[in-house]
Structure formats: structure tokens, C-alpha cells
Amino acid sequence: MPMTELTDQTIIDLLSPFATPQRFETMQTVLSQRTRYMTVVLEDIYQPQNASAVLRSADGFGIQDVHIIENNHEYTLNPDVEKGASSWLNMHRYSSRENNTKQALKYLKSQGYRILATTPHTDDVNLDDVEIEKGKFALIFGTEVTGISDEVRAQADEFVKIPMYGFTESFNISVSAAITMHHLRLKMEQSEVNWTLSEEEANHLMVKWLRKTVRSSDSIIKRYINEQEFN
């Protein structure tokens, strides 16, 4: 029986006894709070501390997918800041084209995401006014110096801003991302939209996490397959 024929549930049943009960319970709890209704897109972020802080916030607020656009800068992480958050997330990187932003936006829109650009703009709305019920959405944060690109401005469905009350015009990118994710996470939970993962998505992620957590998981699975073939 090829490994590809094993269902996710079979692999979960096979590997979960090798994880500590506390670890498996934690993964189940985290999965129940994970979402793909909201996703995060980082365009040309080049400072490792910012990139890492955003990933840590995404994991903390239950966002499963982060999309990384690399046009002029390579996306690098600071492990002291990131604290392993990236290992629990699905990272989608766009770096093979001349215009990686266009590629990323095309993919997100094909998946049904609204493009919400986080930047001051004449037609922007405050976080409080974002309508969660209009459909799932991708939050785009631009580079530290110039913000979002012209490509994003041209293709964004909406522009979102954080209200400011001081002399500074904007927050640091990692602070802006954390505030935005936190605020829209609360709005999402208070809405009537179905923002949780499907059973299929949750099981697929559980397999990924168990394989990462359980030592010699591949050997355990191969031994099970061999036993099934022998029997």
C-alpha cells in the first residue's frame, strides 16, 4: 500500500500515541482556532526582525497562511524573534517572476480573497469599518520604507488604516500588522461567518504537525505500511 493511499485520519491515529498527551491536546486546541478566512501578505519586507515579528503575530492570532512576496529583497528571519512560529505556518513564497506581486495577487484573487491594502489612502476605511461578512480577505503590508507597491494600489479591493492620534504618521510594520490582525480577529470571531478550518484542512495540518513533532515519524508510517502489505 503506497504511503499516498493512507488517509490523514489513519496517519493521525498512527502517530498521535507517540506524542505526549499534552502536546497532542495543544495541537487540537490550536487547530480549532486556526483560520484561513484571513491571511497575511508581506511585500518586500527586508528587515529580519520585522519579518519575524509578523510571523510570530500571525501564529499567535491563529492565521495559518502567510504569503511572502520577494521583488527587490529576500525575506529572512531572526530566530530569536520568530521563536519557531514559521514551522507551524504555511509559507507561500513568490520570488521566481519579474513581477512577483502580480503573481501573488492573481493567486489570492483566484482563491476568492479580497485584497485589503494597509496604507493611508483617500478611499481608506478604519479597522472598525472593515466588513468581515463580505468574504475572506488578504491583508497586505508593504516594505518598511515605501509601503505597498503601485501594483497593490491598482489591484486592491479596499484600503485599511489604523487611526493615529499622535504626531507620527504610522506605526512600525510589525506593530501595524499585530494591531490589524488582533482587531480583525476579534471582529471575525464576533461575526457569523464560518472562519474555522474544514475537517479536511484540520486533519491535513494535524498530519503535518505530528510528522514534525514525532521523532522517526516516517519510519513509523513505513513500518505500518509494510505490516499492512504483509498481512
Name the nearest CA neighbour of 88 among 66, 104, 109, 68: 66
Q: Decide if pLDDT at 55 tops 50.
A: yes
Report for 69-78, 83-92, 108-117, 121-130: range of highest mean pLDDT: 108-117
Q: Decide if pLDDT at 2 tops 60.
A: no
Q: With pLDDT > 70 as the criterion, what percentage of the chain qualifies?
A: 93
pLDDT for the residue numbered 1: 41
Q: What would the mean pLDDT of 150-155 be, rounded to a whole number?
A: 92
Query: Band of the pLDDT at 78, cuts 50, 70, 90?
Result: low
> Cβ distance 101 to 75 under 8 Å?
no
89 to 65, 199, 208: CA distances (angstroms)? 6, 17, 10
How many CA atoms does the CB half-sphere of 203 hold within 13 Å?
12
Q: Decide if pLDDT at 3 tops 60.
A: no
40 to 12, 83, 102, 167, 204: CA distances (angstroms)? 28, 18, 16, 28, 20
Domains and CATH numbers, the chain: 35-195 (3.40.1280.10), 196-226 (no CATH)
The reported pTM is 0.90
| Better-predicted residue by pLDDT, 39 or 165 | 39
Cell of 205: 495540518
Q: Decide if pLDDT at 231 tops 70.
A: no
> Cβ distance 221 to 27 under 8 Å?
no
Query: Band of the pLDDT at 197, cuts 50, 70, 90?
Result: very high
pLDDT for the residue numbered 121: 65
Query: For the chain, what is the mean pLDDT?
Result: 89
192 to 36, 157, 185, 196: CA distances (angstroms)? 15, 22, 13, 11
